[in-house]
Amino acid sequence: MRAILTLKISISGVRGVVGDSLTPDLLTRFSQAFGTYVGSGRVVIGRDTRTSGEMVRQAVVSGLLSAGCRIVDAGVCPTPTVQLLVRKFRAAGGIAITASHNPPEWNALKFVGSDALFLSGARGRELLDIYHQGEYSKARSPRIRNVETMPGALDLHIAAVLEALGPLPAGRRRPKVVLDACNGAGSVVGPRLLEALGADVVGINTTPDGRFPRPAEPTPENLKALCAAVRDHRADIGFAQDMDADRLAIVSEAGEPIGEERTLVLAVEHVLRGTPGPVVANLSTTHALEPVARRYGCAVYRTPVGEANVTEGMHRHRAVIGGEGNGGVIYPRINYARDSLVGMGLILHLLADSGKTVSELVTALPALEIVKIQFPFPSQRLGEVFRKARREYADLPMDLRDGVKVMLPDAWFLLRGSNTEPVLRVVAEATSEEAARGLAEKVRDRVTEWLA
């Protein structure tokens, strides 16, 4: 059971506990497999600030160089920066070294294809096949290159956001923003972007040393310091990032967290005002998106959970914006990637254009509340649970593309296994937090009964 709990290998990448299941040998072999997969081409690498990051980076470099790859090292940077650089330099691929929202003892490799999208589906399975077969490309000495460093990676990312969105309107009061970067990859680039947009910035937890001042996931219960700082500085808004700065949570001017789900809803509101078009989100994202999109005559399309699934759906439907309800905003004018920097820019422009406070904007949204709970669960029993759920709720509308999603008259819930952790997730949404939590706990208890 210990190995199951500390290592996760899937088409989403590999992640585990450093010094336990995630070893230098494993990391090197996965990097060799990726170098073989991309054909020994140019590969962009970047990492978050975790204290294990340098060890993991060296293992990755060793594996890629041994496969004959040409490495461009962006250093400490957000995961979406790696994706942006892959596209800009037409690289064969990229590796983001980050365990995102996982606890500090974890680290991971996220694999990016030449299209700057995370590997998934057939491409992810092909990489796994190469890894398991162990037949890797082996470069001879003359073909092993030096590692190229990319010191201007953050500047390129800031420039891309400013080019797409522009600075905030001139002649108005500069908004005051508090940023909590969790001492992660957004610690340096986040304040610089906000200042370039035209905001006054107060930074907390912006020392990029990888020492977690709070749990990395920017959920409301983890944002007490940010809420207090917003109130103390009388700021207009508070932003919180996770360790690799792909997710964004918002705190209102009253010092209240509005919930990660509403990050995407507000970003969609701003984009559709100026550029109506299709919206894509995953199955676990709030249904508040649909009435917002309908207001502008636009459709919302749903995909299985996972950034790769959402970006594939966005390409297919030619979406103008998309994302995930965990605070992941994907704006294709800049990057087909969840990007907290993009999210901050869009939300600040919404505040400026509307002239409203965060609280006023949230009040105008549909009155829906979402609750997410999870618990350790053996992956080999997922199929059994899903079969029982399908039988239990057979009379209700369902979506079976990713676990089991059940639609109730005034609520819904989703039961699915995690792509990144050995846990079972229950997501429920209803017209009040109490009702959503009651529904989620009822489903969890039912699962426990099924397995008894």
The set of catalytic residues is 100
> Which residue type occupies 178?
V
337, pLDDT greater than 60 = yes
- Whether the per-residue pLDDT at 195 is higher than 50: the answer is yes
Mean pLDDT for the stretch of residues 53-69: 97
pLDDT band at 420 (very low <50, low <70, confident <90, very high): low
Average pLDDT value for residue range 110-135:
94
Q: What is the dihedral of CA 191, 193, 198, 204, to 10 degrees?
A: -20
Provide mean pLDDT across the span 59-64.
98
How confident is the model over 201-207, as a mean pLDDT?
98
How much is the pLDDT for 4? 44
In degrees, to the nearest 5, what angle opens at C-alpha 417 toward C-alphas 280 and 80? 45
CB 289, CB 265: distance < 8 Å: yes
Highest mean pLDDT (candidates 3-17, 340-354, 409-423): 340-354
Mean pLDDT, range 170-182, rounded to an integer: 94
pLDDT at site 375: 87
Please tell me the predicted confidence (pLDDT) of residue 117. 95
Give CA separation, 169 vs 165, 166, 198, 347, 421, in Å.
11, 9, 8, 13, 43
* Strand locations in 252-346 (E): 279-282, 300-303, 321-324, 328-330
Q: What is the pLDDT of residue 1?
A: 31
Predicted pLDDT at 5: 56
Beta strand 279-282 pairing with 369-376: unpaired
DSSP class of residue 93 equals: E
Look at residue 105 and tell me whether its pLDDT is greater than 70.
Answer: yes
Is residue 8 very low, low, confident or very high in pLDDT (cuts 50, 70, 90)?
confident
Return the bridge partners of 22, or none: 18
- Determine the Cα–Cα distance for residues 115 and 141; give it in Å rounded to an integer: 30
> Phi and psi for 311 in degrees, rounded to 5?
-65, -35
Domain boundaries, the chain: 2-154, 163-168+175-363, 369-451
Q: Is 335 a residue whose pLDDT tops 90?
A: yes
Residue type, 264: L
pLDDT tier, 3 (very low <50, low <70, confident <90, very high otherwise): very low
- From residue 354, alpha-carbon distances to 261, 263, 361 in Å are 20, 16, 9
Asked whether the predicted pLDDT for residue 275 surpasses 80, the reply is yes
CATH 3.30.310.50 fits 369-451, yes or no: yes
* E strand residue ranges, 265-334: 279-282, 300-303, 321-324, 328-330
Q: What is the pTM of this model?
A: 0.94
Q: What span, in angstroms and rounded, lies between the C-alpha atoms of 407 and 139?
A: 54
**pLDDT per position as a tens digit, 365-400:** 999 999 999 988 887 888 999 999 999 999 999 999
What's the fold here for domain 163-168+175-363?
Alpha-D-Glucose-1,6-Bisphosphate; Chain A, domain 3 (3.40.120)
Number of helices (H), then strands (E), belonging to the chain: the values are 15, 20
On the question of a common fold for 2-154 and 163-168+175-363, the answer reads yes
What percentage of residues in the chain have a pLDDT greater than 70?
98
Using the predicted structure, report yes or no on whether residue 11 has a pLDDT greater than 80.
no
pLDDT band at 142 (very low <50, low <70, confident <90, very high): confident
What is the maximum span of the chain, computed from C-alpha positions, in angstroms?
66
Mean pLDDT, all residues of the chain: 94
Which class does domain 2-154 fall in? alpha beta
Name which of 308, 319, 344 is nearest 329 in CA terms. 344
